[in-house]
Amino acid sequence: MLRMLIIDFPAVTHSTEASAVQVLRFEMAIYCVTGANRGLGLEFVRQLAVNKDNIILATVRNNAADLADLKAVASPSTHVLVCDVGSPDTIRSFASEAARLLEKQGGRRIDYLLNVAGVNYAPELGSLSINQDALNTNMRINVVGPAKVVEFLLEKDLLSPKVRILNMTSGLGSMTKSLAIKPRKCAVYSISKAGVNMLTVHQSEDLKAKLPSVVVITVDPGWVKTRMGGEGAEIEPRESISGMLNIIHGVSGEDNGKFFNYNGSEQPW
């Protein structure tokens, strides 16, 4: 059963210390955040880094990316690693580098894996104009990416027996909710996020053979004010991320394989 904490957010102003209210309630842990140099991934790092005891593996697509914002929020125990989720080879290299890093931490394993990195490629395409490039790009990054991150970290024995895995999805990946949207939009992205939901369902069962206490969930962050969110987005990143941290810290075995909104409500498939 999902155990939710009630967090009061400042009405207008917000500071890093305010975000700490939630993060500091939890004991030190090892987190892995993909897509950490901007948007939701960056906000995850910002809030988690407030607790200096947290060890954070913050992944970026390449070292040439603008990392100024990430460096500004990172703590001394934040480690920036390259992991292009669109490339299985770099995911495998990342897993090897993570293994070396965690070996220096006494062989500890990842407690929380946050699969955040994603793309909304060719959002203008509808179901009658899908092309192979658009479909392949969205599926490779949004579905195959998080699948391979889990696979290669598992191969290296880097996932805690009680690891909590969050796969980032979207309300557009819910077929039930999409039926109510008119006009419908982002067809290819929506298809890929429906794929993330099904990936989560399968991972939640397949991982139990090696990690009996694993919990894998998929979460809709809401329509967040990020570059991907675009015009009209309604939710501040700090609110969405605080909500998702609440969820990932509160889930139990009964929640394995479920689909949540960032506010903790269970979502229809």
* Domains within the chain, CATH numbers bracketed: 16-261 (3.40.50.720)
pLDDT of 1? 62
Q: Which residues contact 97 (CB under 8 A, 6 or more apart)?
A: 81, 82
Pick from 44, 1, 48, 61: which is nearest to 20 by CA?
48
Residue 93 CA to residue 102 CA, distance in Å, equals: 14
Nearest-angstrom CA–CA distance, 88 and 103: 23
As to burial, measured by CB atoms within 10 angstroms (0-12 exposed, 13-18 middle, 19+ buried), residue 246 is: buried
pTM of the model: 0.90
Which segments in the chain show pLDDT lower than 70?
Answer: 1-27, 227-231
- Residue 218's pLDDT is what? 99
